[in-house]
Structure 1
């Protein structure tokens, strides 16, 4: 079952007694558990209707025992189980020994008065384990991975609309370019922008530029974009702003090199017919980062990117060995790159 179907079922009152949520997108998992909490737990009865466990501190049999125990003063209780390493490869639960047989027995016959949500912050489950196979057969297993490029933009637009405001695609893309791809950070910036715009207001790229502060990494990305488009004045403006923020020139050089390295890797993998999602998985990057890097890489041929990386390696050596002033070295590199 996919996440959208699971959310629809929950809103219609069809709630599974067992959920296994895994993936690297923590914000989406938190949103899903919040939805279950909203549907199952009355705010005044939270002490009776909700229990949270951590399997790094609690054996799995204690979770099973809690699930089998009848709830007090409520119809159903929600049990959140974090650090569910029993579903992944590697050692289970650290120093805690878990009796997996107890969980397997429960999965085959879950209690009607309990809903258990197991949370795994990782890319994959260990498909070889009996407990994973049992959950897939009897429970609801949901993947929460980073959204693709277009999906993330649409998500940002929907989040703004939920708060009673409007934002166009260009402004949503500017928001992601400034804030980054982490959904929790994006949601916080959306709250700020909507507060600024007011209910019924519109958010444009100017509002994003004024209110959303870019991280050093995002500044480097924008600076490289300006260089690719021969907007040297804007590129130098960002560079000098980073220096005012006391960013070390060697760090700036390393981040510029990282961006060009990503561009070269994306270009090479795309040439080998890898999809955006496959490239993201191969390079351990967010799909939206891959999308933007691919767009930047089209402005350079592979040979030019390799030459730039070679120049950056030489600059890094000269800066660290005292062969050139750090700021001057970066200025000369940016001028050469723009030329």
Structure 2
């Protein structure tokens, strides 16, 4: 079952007694947990109806015992289990010994007065484990991985609309470019923009640029984008602004090198017919970042990217050994690159 279907079922009152949520997109997982809480438990009853466990501290048989115990003063309870390493590769639960058979037995006959929710922070489950197969057969297993570019843009627009405001696609893309792809920080920025716009207000790119401050990493990302587009004046403008903010030139150079390294890696993997999602997984990057890096990489030959990285390595050595003034060295590098 996919996430949308699971959410639709929950809102319709069709709640599974067993859920396993895994993936790296923590914000989406938190939203799913909140949805379950809101649908299952009244806010004033949560002290009685919601229990939270961590399998690095509590044996899984204790969780099973909690699930089998009748709820007190509430019709049904939600049991949230974090750090569920027993579903992933490696030793289950670290130092603790877990009685997996107790959980396996419970999965065969889950209590109707409990909803057991496991949260796993990891890209994939260990499909070789019997307990993973048992959970897939008995419950609802959901994957929460980073959204693609279009999905992320749509998620931002929906978030704005839920708050009673309006935002076009260009403004959403501007927000992602300025803030980055982390959904938690994007949600914070959406809240701020909607407070500024007011009920029914329109949030356009100009408003985003006015209110959303870029991090150093995002400034470097945009600076490289300007360099790739041969907009040297804009790239230098960002560089000088970073210096005004007292950013260390060595750090700026390292971030520039990181972006060009990603461009070279994306270009190389794309040439080997890797898909965007496969490249993102291989490099540990968000699909949106891979897409933008791919677009940037198309403006350079592989040999050019290697030469740029070599120049950056030499610049880094000179800056750290006093062979050149750090600001002047980075400025000359940008001028050479733009030329």
Q: TM-score range by the shorter chain?
A: over 0.9
1:267 equivalent in structure 2: 267
1:46 equivalent in structure 2: 46
| Two-structure CA RMSD over aligned residues (Å) | 0.8
2:141 equivalent in structure 1: 141
1:22 equivalent in structure 2: 22
SS class of match (1:171)? helix
Aligned length, in residue pairs? 339
SS class of match (2:79)? strand
2:253 equivalent in structure 1: 253
2:6 equivalent in structure 1: 6
Q: What's the CA shift for 1:230?
A: 2.1
Which ranges in structure 1 are unaligned for 5 or more consecutive residues?
A: none
Q: What's the CA shift for 1:130?
A: 1.1
**TM-score under structure 1 length normalisation:** 0.98
SS class of match (1:119)? strand
1:203 equivalent in structure 2: 203
2:215 equivalent in structure 1: 215
Render the CA deviation track for 1:117-166: whole Å, top value 9, x for unaligned. 00001111111111101000001000000001111111111111111111
93-102 or 181-190, which moves further after superposition? 93-102
1:94 equivalent in structure 2: 94
SS class of match (1:136)? helix
Matches within 5 A, 1:138-217: 138-217=138-217
Q: Distance in 2 between matches of 1:216 and 1:162?
A: 30
Render the CA deviation track for 1:83-139: whole Å, top value 9, x for unaligned. 111111112212221111110000000000000100001111111111101000001
Render the CA deviation track for 1:305-326: whole Å, top value 9, x for unaligned. 1111111111111111211110
Q: Distance in 2 between matches of 1:100 and 1:246?
A: 54
Q: What's the CA shift for 1:176?
A: 0.4
Q: What's the CA shift for 1:170?
A: 0.9
Q: What's the CA shift for 1:232?
A: 1.8
Q: Distance in 1 between matches of 2:17 and 2:252?
A: 50
Q: Distance in 1 between matches of 2:151 and 2:307?
A: 34
SS class of match (1:200)? coil
1:132 equivalent in structure 2: 132
**TM-score under structure 2 length normalisation:** 0.98
SS class of match (2:282)? helix
Which ranges in structure 2 are unaligned for 5 or more consecutive residues?
A: none
2:239 equivalent in structure 1: 239
Q: Distance in 1 between matches of 2:297 and 2:184?
A: 28
SS class of match (1:91)? coil
